[in-house]
Each structure stands twice: as structure tokens, then as C-alpha cells.
Amino acid sequence: MGQDNGRTVSIHVTHGGEYLGPVGPFEVDGAWWSAAAPVVERVSQELGVPVLVLRLAEVAAGGGGRGGHVVYHVEALERPAGLVPRQAGADTVALLGPAERRAGWATPPGLRAALAWAERTLHRAGRPAAGPVEQVRTWNLSGLFRYRTATGVDAWLKAVNPAFNAAEGEAIALLGSVDPTLVPPVLGADPVHGLLLLDHVPGEDCWSPSAEEVADVVPRLVAAQAALAADGRAAAAGLRDRTPRTLIAQVDALLDRLERAAEWVGTSSERPAGAGPGAPGTSLTAEEIAAARVLAGRLPALVEELAACGLPETLVHGDFHPGNWRSDGSRSVVVDYADSCFGHPALDGLRPRQYVSEERWTQLVDVWARAWREHAPGSDPERALRLVEPLYHLAYAVRYQEFLDHIETSERPYHEEDPENEIRAALAWTGTATGTGTGTGAAAEDTARA
């Protein structure tokens, strides 16, 4: 099996706090490390009992979240026949033992509590589960589980870390108050524990959106964002602040950390003061850090130029790529609000670009800009899209560092060096990486003028 299509997997099995030994290695379909379903299916068949993946414990080779050899910690929900508890070796104890910042759904008690909450919530909603839970995805940012219910309509449990993710139920309610058809129906939410139970949304994810899907979903999001900005509810909702002016300080703080981390690697084996629990990677060179400082110094003027484009700050989805749109052919729904925040809507406008063809991107820009000119007469949405490019990458650098600050060490391969790579993308766009300040394209020219 090629690594583009699958991965090699080894398992450590526990049950009720007892170690039952290793299983594998074996190959499974699906290269993505987060895809839990094929692992659950294979191990459940081998052990004869239902199991769930708790977490990625170790990975070798592969990259970008896929391929290679992946070691998982799996919890058996029932005791497998023929397996008896055994003494785990020191390396296994270290691999499976408690860890700082471990996600709740990555521990047996936390996972069982989340499933129990979902099943109680389904029962209260008159939608009792009609079978065992099906695990779809588990990784450092979330766990996703499907329930077949007695009504014949599926329900979905999503678990996230509330320390660095939005309260999705609240963001959905806010957007849904303007356009209920744009968001998934919420069956229950426990924001304190990062749990959300959603009704099934029919259709398919729009990874390759049609012209009709773009024309449907983009103007509806813009209309809802404009309405929430106009009545002030987005500003008052307590969303995470990712407005351009706030982002300036967040970028400065991240660059401080990157610089301290680089000095630490060069001079000492001790973690630098203020580096934080998930210290940034150290892949940026001194020249890149210096160039990023130059770019950061330009941000205040750039932010003023962006504000002059006339688009209001509002609720921002935060990850508005077409894989988070679902369509049944007649209407599209936007899902996954863990990254939602209060910010500039051009961050959402730019997000689909790397996921769509050039033809579809040209259409999307036109649809998005026309919608904003309708709701914000006199605005210049096209220029806003050009100007926001470096801020877009820097916002993602800050966001990826939030991921790294709140996930355990074994889960860092999913996002290692993502902050640095986003900073490089911002530098490449503005031309500051080479010190020329010339950049590429109209956005770089606008940035240089600012």
C-alpha cells in the first residue's frame, strides 16, 4: 500500500487502566493520521470488542499529517477475551502515561464522560442512540463521533479543547439568528468541556465547489456578517479578538517568542523565560526574524489602509475553506466554528483561495466583492482582499502557535513549524524576506506604500 493511500499502524491497548499489550503493525486504508475509523475497525475485528482511539502516541516518517508509521493508544470498551493485563515497559509507560495539556477526549475517563453526555443529550432531545458510537476522527484539535439515532437521522458529537477554541454553539447561534439555514442545527452544547452535539447536515463537503455552490454560500455569509456588524452583536458577543489592531500586538508577541527561542537554541539548553509551554520552533533564521520585524513595523499603516476600505469588523468564521461547506445540491451549510473570532471579514474572503481552481477563485472574488459592496456601499472589497494578505498569514501564525501552546508534545507533529511557515508566506508576499520591499502583486505594492 502506498503511503499516499494509507499508513502503517501499531497499537497499544488498554482497558480500565490496565495495559493489555501491543497489536500490529498492520496497514490501514486512509493516510491521514487523524482518520480513526479504519484503525477502530481493524482493532475491533482483531480483539472482538469495541474500541476507540484515544490519541496519536508517536509517529515516524510521513509528514503533513499523513503517511508513515503511526502508533496509537487505543482503549477497549470491553475486556477482550484471551488478553490479560501485563506489565508495561518503561518506554511504553512513558508513551501512554499522563501528560500535560492532554485533551479530554484523549483519556479514557474524559472520552467516556463525553460519550455519556452526548447520549443523555440525545435522549432528552427524543433522539436516543440506536447503536454504538462510531469514531470518525481524532487528533490534537478535536474528536468527531457519529451516532445513529432512533429517528433514522444521524447526530454528530464534536469535542474540542475549550482553552483555545471558540464556543462553537454560541457562534452558531449568533450567525443562525440572522440566517438559520446557513448553520448546522445544534442539539446540545457544553462549552465548559468543549462539547457540541449537532444534527446531521445532508449533502457532501464542497472540496471542489461548483459555481452554483459559491454563488449560494458566499453571499449568504457576507449578508449575515454585515447584519451582525450593523447591529453591534458581533462586537458584543465575547468572541476571541482577532481584529487587525489587536493582531499587531499578537504578532509582536509571537516574534518575541521566536527570537527568544532562536537565542535559546544557540546559547543554552534551558527553555527561555516566557517561551511558554509549547515553545515555538526555531526554523526561522535571524535574517527571517529581522525581516518579520520590518513587516511588523509596517502593520499599523497597513491596518489603517485596510480600515479605509470600508468593511466592518464582524464575526469571522476563521476557516472558511470549501471543505467546511456542505451542500445537498440546493442549499449550502457552513460547519466547523472552532476558529471563529471577531475580526476583519477579508480573512474569510481570502481563505478559500488555496483550495479552489483559478477559475473558481476568480468567480469567488467577484461574488464576495459584489456582496460586500451591496451591504457596505462605497467600500472597496477587492483592495481589502489584496491588503489583508500579510495579515492573513500572520493571523494564522498566531493561531497555529495557540494550537502548539495547548497540545501535548506527542501531538505536535501535526502543526510543528506551522507558525514559522505562515510568517514565511507573509514575507514572501510582501518581499521583505529579501529586504527589497518589492513583493509580488498588488497586495505587496499596497503594503509597501502603507
Q: Provide the pLDDT for residue 225.
A: 98
How many residues would you count in the chain?
450
The 10 Å Cβ neighbour count of residue 204 is 11
Parallel/antiparallel/unpaired status of strands 134-138 and 341-343:
unpaired
Average pLDDT, the chain: 90
Of 37, 38, 39, 32, whose CA–CA distance to 12 is shortest?
A: 39
CA distances (Å), origin 168, targets 116, 158, 172, 196, 309: 20, 10, 6, 7, 29
The 10 Å Cβ neighbour count of residue 52 is 25
- Mean pLDDT value of segment 210-235: 97
What angle (nearest 5°) sits at the alpha carbon of residue 146, between those of residues 140 and 149?
Answer: 155
Q: Provide the pLDDT for residue 83.
A: 87
Judged against a pLDDT cut of 90, whether residue 63 lies above it is answered with: no
- Mean pLDDT value of segment 75-81: 94
The cell numbers describing 117, all together, are: 453526555
Cα four-point dihedral sign 276, 281, 287, 291: negative
Name residues whose C-beta falls within 8 Å of residue 89's C-beta, 6 or more positions apart in sequence: none
Judged against a pLDDT cut of 50, whether residue 439 lies above it is answered with: no
Q: Provide the pLDDT for residue 431.
A: 67
Tens of pLDDT, residues 140-188: 899 999 999 999 999 999 999 999 999 999 999 999 999 999 999 999 9
- Mean pLDDT value of segment 187-207: 97
Q: Provide the pLDDT for residue 195.
A: 98
Percent of the chain clearing pLDDT 90 (strictly above): 82
Tens of pLDDT, residues 84-128: 999 999 999 999 999 999 999 999 999 999 999 999 999 999 999
Q: Which fold has domain 106-200?
A: Phosphorylase Kinase; domain 1 (3.30.200)
Tens of pLDDT, residues 43-57: 999 999 999 999 999
Judged against a pLDDT cut of 70, whether residue 199 lies above it is answered with: yes
In the block, cell 491497548 appears at: 13
Judged against a pLDDT cut of 80, whether residue 290 lies above it is answered with: yes
Q: Provide the pLDDT for residue 282.
A: 53
The CA distance from 58 to 409, in Å, is 10
The 10 Å Cβ neighbour count of residue 137 is 18
Q: Is 73 left (phi over 0), alpha (psi -120 to 50) or beta?
A: beta
Q: Provide the pLDDT for residue 436.
A: 41
Q: Provide the pLDDT for residue 266.
A: 52
Q: Provide the pLDDT for residue 3.
A: 52
Percent of the chain clearing pLDDT 70 (strictly above): 90
- Region of poorest pLDDT, from 144-153, 330-339, 408-417: 408-417
Q: 46 and 31 in contact (C-beta within 8 Å)?
A: no
pLDDT tier, 315 (very low <50, low <70, confident <90, very high otherwise): very high
pLDDT tier, 450 (very low <50, low <70, confident <90, very high otherwise): very low
Judged against a pLDDT cut of 60, whether residue 270 lies above it is answered with: no
Provide the 3-class DSSP secondary structure of residue 22. Answer: strand
- Region of poorest pLDDT, from 81-85, 278-282, 355-359, 388-392: 278-282
Q: Provide the pLDDT for residue 447.
A: 38
Cα four-point dihedral sign 35, 130, 23, 142: positive
Provide the 3-class DSSP secondary structure of residue 203. Answer: coil
Q: Provide the pLDDT for residue 264.
A: 61
Judged against a pLDDT cut of 50, whether residue 448 lies above it is answered with: no
DSSP 344-400: -THHHHHGGGGGS-HHHHHHHHHHHHHHHHHHSTT--HHHHHHHTHHHHHHHHHHHH
Residue 191, φ and ψ in degrees, nearest 5:
-65, -25
- Mean pLDDT value of segment 53-73: 92
Query: Between these two residues, 64 and 418, which has the higher pLDDT value?
Result: 418
Sequence spans of domains, the chain: 6-97, 106-200, 205-449
Name residues whose C-beta falls within 8 Å of residue 94's C-beta, 6 or more positions apart in sequence: none
Judged against a pLDDT cut of 60, whether residue 8 lies above it is answered with: yes
Tens of pLDDT, residues 297-308: 999 999 999 999
Cα four-point dihedral sign 290, 291, 296, 301: positive
Parallel/antiparallel/unpaired status of strands 325-327 and 332-334:
antiparallel
Name residues whose C-beta falls within 8 Å of residue 112's C-beta, 6 or more positions apart in sequence: none
CATH C-level class of 205-449: alpha beta
Cα four-point dihedral sign 422, 414, 404, 239: positive
Provide the 3-class DSSP secondary structure of residue 341. Answer: strand
